[in-house]
Amino acid sequence: MLSNQLHNGLETAKLLWSRIPNSEDGEVDGGSLLRNSNRNTVESLDYEVIENYAYREEQAQRGKLYVGYYVAVKWFLALLTGIGTGLAAVFINISVENFAGWKFALTFSIIQRSYFAGFVIYVLINLILVFSSVYIVTHFAPAAAGSGIPEIKGYLNGLDIHGILLFRTLIGKIFGSIGSVGGGLALGKEGPLVHTGACIASLLGQGGSSKYHLSSRWLQVFKSDRDRRDLVTCGCAAGVAAAFRAPVGGVLFALEEVTSWWRSQLMWRVFFTSAIVAVVVRTAMGWCKSGKCGHFGSGGFIIWDTSDGQEDYSFEELLPMAVIGVIGGLLGALFNQLTFHITYWRRNYLHKKGNRVKIIEACLISVITSAISFGLPLLRKCNPCPESDHDSGIECPRPPGMYGNYVNFYCGKDKEYNDLATIFFNTQDDAIRNLFSAKTIHEFSAQSLLTFLVMFYTLAVVTFGTAVPAGQFVPGIMIGSTYGRLVGMFVVNFYKNLNVEEGTYALLGAASFLGGSMRMTVSLCVIMVEITNNLKLLPLIMLVLLISKAVGDAFNEGFYEQQARLKGIALLESRPKYQMRNMMAKEVCRNQKVVSFPRIVKVADAVSILQSNLHNGFPVIDHVRNGETLVIGLVLRSHLLVLLQSKVDFQHSPLPCDPAGVSKSIRHNFSEFVKPVSSKGISIEDIHLSSDDLEMYIDLAPVLNPSPYVVPEDMSLTKVYNLFRQLGLRHIFVVPRASRVVGMITREDLLIEDSEDPASVELHSTSVRGHRQYSMISRNVDVERPLLNGLLLQDHMLG
Amino acid sequence: MLSNQLHNGLETAKLLWSRIPNSEDGEVDGGSLLRNSNRNTVESLDYEVIENYAYREEQAQRGKLYVGYYVAVKWFLALLTGIGTGLAAVFINISVENFAGWKFALTFSIIQRSYFAGFVIYVLINLILVFSSVYIVTHFAPAAAGSGIPEIKGYLNGLDIHGILLFRTLIGKIFGSIGSVGGGLALGKEGPLVHTGACIASLLGQGGSSKYHLSSRWLQVFKSDRDRRDLVTCGCAAGVAAAFRAPVGGVLFALEEVTSWWRSQLMWRVFFTSAIVAVVVRTAMGWCKSGKCGHFGSGGFIIWDTSDGQEDYSFEELLPMAVIGVIGGLLGALFNQLTFHITYWRRNYLHKKGNRVKIIEACLISVITSAISFGLPLLRKCNPCPESDHDSGIECPRPPGMYGNYVNFYCGKDKEYNDLATIFFNTQDDAIRNLFSAKTIHEFSAQSLLTFLVMFYTLAVVTFGTAVPAGQFVPGIMIGSTYGRLVGMFVVNFYKNLNVEEGTYALLGAASFLGGSMRMTVSLCVIMVEITNNLKLLPLIMLVLLISKAVGDAFNEGFYEQQARLKGIALLESRPKYQMRNMMAKEVCRNQKVVSFPRIVKVADAVSILQSNLHNGFPVIDHVRNGETLVIGLVLRSHLLVLLQSKVDFQHSPLPCDPAGVSKSIRHNFSEFVKPVSSKGISIEDIHLSSDDLEMYIDLAPVLNPSPYVVPEDMSLTKVYNLFRQLGLRHIFVVPRASRVVGMITREDLLIEDSEDPASVELHSTSVRGHRQYSMISRNVDVERPLLNGLLLQDHMLG
């Protein structure tokens, strides 16, 4: 009788545990995760999905309809993420193009009369745009500064950095990047768009933002961090797909660069999201074609069509291409190193002085950038236009108010152009289009390209790290295509008989710099192909990327990894560290004092344990007969805090909770255990208990995870690492070696035929079961469980 | 003294274990893996890499130079794989194109005089080619039949199917596919090329084929199945890259379709291999341009350039495109179902009757295919040529001996063409090129396309499963592009004002059929884009694939999954089965009798244990004081068999092996434990022992894996499955719940800074260690080890 009741009690335990969403929060425990800064803002997420049978049992009871609804919501949210990200990208692009278009149109019209007045207006407009951006970021959404990709990478690796996925961050990112990109700074809008996509996905995944009353109960079906993570992955892909109009590149970027765990089922959904983005963006651009979007025209999205460029390449060209790869690796590694040091200095000295310094810094950089981009072309002599070639459709000088090559700027005659102004005094998109352009051999002089390379490289290094949203893709393409075009010029002069286009080399240079800095491979390759709409150069891009990545890797880590490290985002890499080969599991936890809970804990004890340390998870150990103990599960700090705060589970007796009250013991709604992303959750200091409360007891059985993963104490740490990393765990118990083996599980044991009919399973496992509803009870009766027997006996003794 | 000796003994155990390559072979144990057939030909592979510290210690002792050499060899082998696969693809393509070219040239020249003589010659040439193919396959390389992709997928999932990666299979695959494709059967050469790439990779990975004296000791550095698997993955990607000249598609195919485990480091190497293939193929094609390769010209590789096709699409077109997606899903699912049943029938009835039946079957199908492809166009009336359009460069009728549209076949007048012959009486590559071609509106009549669709669909269904190498990509593209073009014709007629090309719909149809049959997404999308060299249609291809895959999934599994199931290749999917939610770990192994070994086992006992069951792995359990036991590790059947065969480890006393002989106890060369892929290894029946031998003992400590992964007995089976599947394990011990927790491992414990200086590690783990060479011993002294203490006491008792 009593035993049956206890069975029920423990089953309830599992049942409730399973209903508690798998989100863990609170302070980082014990370790020295963050040596630099912001210790309190980084939390760990738990991506392992607790799939114990009770959870599934319950899901099954809720019916197929619910599962279908759940799947439908997943796809619907992916759809919404795609649409949202696509619209955000369109909005950003239209705004940026219009601001930049007005700016250049106004400046060009004023310099007809006075270059000085034009300069002042140009500087002022840029300053206003940059100021608005930095003001929004510093005063409203501090987490919107920078690229955001390292933070998203950290989130998908299992770290929740405070604030990165909030609604205000989304708003700050969108408007901030309009200001910073429209203001002509040496940065791009692609990283911010990835962050934007991730924010949209995360907000959708948690059913809106409760703070701004934008939440919907109807969408709050995602209970686990894993579902949210999957949606955020979709959001990242959508961001890239929207930024570059490269849907396949987006999928690969999410796969290669951002996610830490990847399931093939997810690929399908990510692919879908990217396709939606492609459709949304294309529709919007079609709508804008009729001139409804102001200055936003063909120049909006970064598509640099080079499909009319070089058709073929010869073997002699492989050498200069390899040179480009090496240059890309060197300059990319240097870029990473310089930005690393400057960002380090900024974080630790400059930006500690407050928001005013951040604003002044950004405004100063804006003025310098404006001055250089306006002033340097003034110093450059104009070149006469080349003999016009009507077939190519390229006019020289370009008509006023249009996009195109051959900008007439501070030139004496009408038929002249300023090659430095063509790239410098222009939007970055147009500059890249000019650098990539074919049939414009000898448009740029080596001197102009070198000047631009040095100046822009310096500006990009200095600008990254200011408190504005900043992407590194477009600046990287600018830098790379400049030296690529430079190499191309030499190739054209040297191999005179080849049909070489300088634009091809500019493209390869862009690929090489991005490869040398960001160290991506397949995704970058596909993105480059998609944005240039030219498949013929694919093998060459691959070659250049291989070389530049290899050269870069010889010096330092990739750009995002370095930035993540600076920000205290400690990523768990997919490969275990070298030192782990020589270590055992128990060595890493030797200094730890294992703090464990008994099954029935006094409230006062629980509070003092929680106050005495920062651990996030505690083993629950129960005493059985002859003083022996048994590990019955893992309880999380966050769940304990919920129990302590709500007080409904407090009981007067130190006995297991009333077995008759199986249904009563599930007193909590799921959502009480769900914590929104990027929030801090409850802290032990927030909980106030009376002295009566402190004298009461809590039965932890209903909230514990009954089977966390375990490893033997002398297992090699590399094996432990693989287990931890591959399954996305957060806690592993290190236990002594077992005394016996109950069974062996091999491949064949896990090859259960999928069928709706439970009879086949029973055939396989030969377990005696009744209907699904009664399977738990019958299993308990049927299966010999040392754990339960132990608890049983203890219970008898207590009784 | 004695305790120290024992420490040394057990350390030696770990040392030797670690040097034993992680290959497991032998019969499938226990389960009912293969219900249909060939029970003895499927083995399991173990992809988990045993990284216990002793192994790493030893690696460290071997020096950085060796590690560098190892990495260099990995890349060098990837290079060789790329070159080899590229050359094989070029060879196959040149051969096929030449055979087919001669065949059609001869036939066309003969039918100028007599259609009957032409028919006979045509049938005979096809028959001879098909006969040579089926003869090679049946008599020389039975594993070369079929596509090979399901088998490779199984291999990469952890199953070693006997014979699939042998040198003879490689040869059979290459020559067999030349015969079958050249012979005009309704099958392609792409699946076989993937298999070819995998074979080349596998042979390189094991240092050549010892049977044909083609092995090289120098290359035999790959000791573990995992390294080989990685190389085989590269080989698969290389095969796709070579077959379609689609390097990025190859990488994605390997990622999405073939591999079960993927590491981001591997992507980089796979990418490299694909790039090499692209360079090799391009070089060979450049070399062939000057006419050195006979009939092999632009028609050789399947590149159907549609970049001059439709530029844009309108919203009205989305409906017919969705219709194509639905048709693709339906026809693809039907194709899978039909081939499944026919292949089932073939395997279980027809092909059991021996090789002669297989040869007759293939020859019969060849004759029927030839008769239909020659005869049906004869029944079709010729159409007058359209008014010639000199801009498009398409002549009507095509000049004799050339590739192109508008084939003049059995026509009364010169200015006529036979539309059915244009697709049917042609090589498949040319037929697809004609179907995809733009600017040829109304070339085909609906009647011809329908006739062709029905006939070719039937032929493709019937042909797949004969004993010749057979790919499904090109037939799939044929079928899909036929109904796609059919839909395109209706669109052209219906939406008269749109600038619609029928070829665009043919392309979408091809994508939809492949999506509906193979259920690939991203890789297929990229492959389609790469082979048609047209990025503009990417969003449309994505859309069509989404629909066709969704429709197909509603009916059955993907083509390769079904074929794998038929062949008894039981793939462990990435997602656990539904039933596992309700099961516990011990339930799946309840019927098992756990057969365990003691540490010191009598030879006679070992033999009888190995004879009495088919298990591949055995727990090793040692007795400690008061009769308690301790699980000290896992020993593999294959390693036991090596010990029994070599006899050098036999000892007279039942005591642990002589501790003084630490170095002596490593009596085995690694390579003794390495089993070549696709071989059967040693069987217990092969081992003959004298009665003296049977009385001796073996100490298993040196060969056991001291820390296999363990799970508590009441863990949910889904969690166990995830552990097993994600880490690529082969054995998991199910053990009772632990009585205490030694420590907890969390994220922070695993964030060890990577540094060359071991001091930092010591700081972290605060272990007292001497030099690396002595660390093992010092650790043993330093660390309290219940295991060793137990063994120690037992030892004292025995002594």
Reported as a single tens digit per residue, the pLDDT across A457-489 is: 999 999 998 999 999 999 999 999 999 999 999
| Torsion (CA) A634, A637, A642, A645 in degrees, nearest 10 | 130
What confidence score (pLDDT) does residue B328 get? 96
Cβ neighbours of B278 in A, within 8 Å: 538-539, 542
> pLDDT tens digits, residue range B314-328?
778 889 999 999 999
State the nearest Cα–Cα gap between B748 and chain A, in angstroms.
Answer: 5
- Check CB contact under 8 Å for B594 and A59: no
Helices B603-612 + B637-646 axis angle, to 10 = 140
| B-interface mutation test, from A45, A274, A741, A760, most B Cβ less than 10 A away | A741
Q: How close, in Å, is residue B524 to chain A by CA atoms?
A: 11
User: Which chain A residues are closer than 8 Å to B720 by Cβ?
Assistant: 745, 750
What are residue A163's phi and psi, to 5 degrees? 95, -10
- Is the domain spanning A75-289 CATH 1.10.3080.10? The answer is yes
Subunit contact A737:B786, Cβ cutoff 8 A: yes
Residues 6+ apart with CB under 8 A from A427: A97, A100, A104, A184, A299
Taking the alpha carbons at both ends of chain A, their separation in whole angstroms is 13
**Mean pLDDT for the stretch of residues B254-262:** 81
C-alpha closest to that of A147 among A181, A176, A190: A190
For tokens 């049946």, the residue is B138
Q: Which residues of B574-587 are buried (b: 16+ CB within 10 A; e: fewer)?
A: bebbbbbbbbbbbb
Does B746 sit within 8 Å of A44, measured CB to CB? Answer: yes
Contacts of B543 in chain A (CB under 8 A): 275, 279
- Nearby residues of B733 by Cβ (< 8 Å), 6 or more positions away: A738, A741, A743, A744, B619, B631, B634, B708, B709, B710, B711
Residue A669: the pLDDT is 53
Residue of A32, A736, A754 lying closest to B786 (CB–CB) = A736
Confidence at residue B628, expressed as pLDDT on a 0 to 100 scale: 81
At residue B26, does pLDDT exceed 60? Answer: no
> Please, what is the average pLDDT of chain B?
78
* CA closest to B31 among chain A residues: A748
Contacts of A301 in chain B (CB under 8 A): none
Nearest 5°: the CA angle B528, B529, B534 is 135
Taking an 8 Å cut-off on Cβ atoms, the answer to whether A719 and B52 are in contact is yes
CA B641, CA B603: separation in Å to the nearest integer?
11
**Average pLDDT of span B450-461:** 95
Q: Cβ separation of B546 and A621 shorter than 8 Å?
A: no
DSSP E strand stretches across B551-680? 600-602, 617-623, 629-636
Using CA coordinates, name the residue in chain A closest to B731: A746
Q: What is the pLDDT of residue A21?
A: 35
- Residue B712 vs residue A669, higher pLDDT: B712
Q: Which of A590, A680, A444, A262 is CA-nearest to residue B783? A: A590
| Structure-token match 């359009």, residue found | B389
Neighbouring residues of A545: CB distance < 8 A, sequence distance ≥ 6: A325, A511, A512, A515, A521, A524, A525
pLDDT category, B674, cuts 50, 70, 90? low
Separation of alpha carbons A510 and A528, rounded Å: 9
Structure tokens at A583: 């270590």
Q: State the nearest Cα–Cα gap between A583 and chain B, in angstroms.
A: 6
pLDDT at A397 (0 to 100): 76
Interval B295-303 mean pLDDT: 59
Test A588 with B749 for CB contact under 8 angstroms.
Answer: yes
**Contacts B594 to A, Cβ<8 Å:** 741-744
Q: Do A588 and B543 touch (CB under 8 A)?
A: no
Neighboring chain B residues of A768 at a CB cutoff of 8 Å: none
3-class DSSP state for residue A416?
strand
CB-nearest to A719 from B31, B51, B748 is: B51
Q: Is A706 in Cβ contact with B714 (below 8 Å)?
A: yes
Determine which of A630-634, A656-660, B523-527, B787-791 has the lowest per-residue pLDDT on average.
B787-791
Residue B740, pLDDT score: 85
Domain boundaries, chain A: 75-289, 323-567, 578-657+676-750
8 Å CB contact of B716 and A57: no
Chain A hits for B60, CB-CB cut-off 8 Å, are: 581-582
The minimum CA-CA distance between B331 and chain A, rounded to whole Å, is 21
Classify the phi-psi angles of A187: left when phi > 0, otherwise alpha if psi is within -120 to 50, otherwise beta: beta
Q: Which residues of B touch A579 (CB under 8 A)?
A: 752, 754-755, 758, 761
From A570's Cα to the closest Cα of chain B, the distance in A is 7
For A84, the token pair is: 């949202």
Which chain A residues are within 8 Å of B595, Cβ to Cβ? none
Query: Whose CA is closest to A145, among A109, A185, A107, A114?
Result: A185
CB contact under 8 A, B542 and A247: yes
Query: Which residue shows structure tokens 């039965």?
Result: A699
Q: What is the pLDDT of residue B675?
A: 59
Q: Which CATH class is domain A578-657+676-750?
A: alpha beta
d(CA A526, CA A516): 16
Contact A248 B526 (CB under 8 A): yes
pLDDT-derived band at B401, boundaries 50, 70, 90:
low
Q: pLDDT at position A207, please?
A: 72
CB-CB under 8 Å, B55 with A248: no
- Helices A318-348 and A559-566 cross at an angle (nearest 10°) of 10
The pLDDT value given to residue A728: 81
**Nearest-CB residue to A744 (from B578, B617, B707):** B617
DSSP A469: B
In this prediction, residue A413 carries a pLDDT of 78
Nearest to A734 among B53, B265, B744 (CB): B744
* Subunit contact B743:A536, Cβ cutoff 8 A: no
B385: DSSP letter: P
Which of A52, A730, A741 faces B733 most closely, judged by CB atoms? A741
Q: What is the rounded CA–CA span in Å between residue A209 and residue A202?
A: 10
CA A520 to chain CA centroid, Å, is 15
Contact yes or no for A586 and B743 at CB 8 A = yes
Give the pLDDT band of residue B360 (cuts 50, 70, 90). Answer: very high
Measured in degrees and rounded to the nearest 5, phi and psi for residue A584 equal -110, 160
Q: Could you tell me how many CB contacts below 8 A there are between chain A and chain B?
A: 453
Ranges of residues in chain A with a pLDDT under 50 are 1-41, 48-57, 659-666, 755-799
Task: Please state which of the ranges B296-310, B365-379, B656-670, B783-797 shows the lowest mean pLDDT.
Answer: B783-797
What is the CATH number assigned to the segment(s) B323-567? Answer: 1.10.3080.10
How far off is chain A from B62, nearest CA to CA, in Å? 14
**Predicted pLDDT of residue B63:** 64
- Going by C-alpha positions, the residue among A157, A193, A159, A187 that lies closest to residue A173 is A193
Nearest-neighbour CA in chain A from B578: distance (Å): 7
**Residue A618: closest CA among chain B residues belongs to which residue?**
B744
The phi and psi torsions of B735 (rounded to 5 degrees) equal -125, 160
Cα gap B674→B521, rounded to integer Å: 37
Q: What integer pLDDT is reported at residue B406 of this predicted model? A: 79
Asked if the bond preceding A192 is cis, omega within 30° of 0, the reply is: no
pTM of the model: 0.81
Length of chain A: 799
CB contact under 8 A, B31 and A751: yes
Q: Do A521 and B267 touch (CB under 8 A)?
A: yes
Task: Tell me, yes or no, if the two domains B323-567 and B578-657+676-750 fold the same way.
Answer: no
Q: How far is B662 from chain A (nearest CA, A)?
A: 20
- Answer positive or negative: Cα dihedral of B778, B780, B783, B789: negative
Distance CA A299, CA A97 (A): 8
Q: Cα(A45)–Cα(A224) distance, rounded to whole angstroms? A: 10
The string of pLDDT tens digits covering residues B637-658 is 888 888 888 887 788 877 775 5
DSSP classification of residue B135: H
Chain A residues lying within 8 Å of B734, measured CB to CB: 741-745
CB contact under 8 A, A271 and B751: no
> Strand, helix or coil at A445?
coil
Distance CA A471, CA A467 (A): 12
- Give me the mean pLDDT over the B446-454 stretch: 93
Phi, psi of B727 (to 5 degrees): -95, 0
Region label for A465, one of left (φ > 0), alpha (ψ between -120 and 50) or beta (otherwise): left
Name B245's bridge partners: none
Best residue in B750, B761, B776 for a mutation probing chain A (most A CBs within 10 Å) = B750
Cite the DSSP H helix spans in B681-769.
Answer: 691-694, 717-727, 758-765
Q: Which residues of B722-744 are buried (b: 16+ CB within 10 A; e: fewer)?
A: bbbbbbbbbbbbbbbbbeebbbb
What are the tens digits of pLDDT across the range B100-115? 888 988 998 898 888 8
Q: What is the interface pTM, i.e. ipTM, of the complex?
A: 0.78
DSSP structure string for B259-315: -SS--HHHHHHHHHHHHHHHHHHHHHHHHHTTTTTTT-STTSS-----TTS-----G
**A127 token code pair:** 């300053």
Whose CA is closest to B438, among B512, B534, B530?
B534
What's the CA gap between A605 and A614, in Å, rounded? 15
Yes or no, beta carbons of B522 and A251 under 8 Å apart: yes
Q: Which of A10, A1, A140 is nearest to A791 (CA)?
A: A10
d(CA B764, CA A620): 27
- Alpha-carbon distance values, B160 to A96, B148, B200, B389, B396 (Å): 57, 13, 16, 57, 53
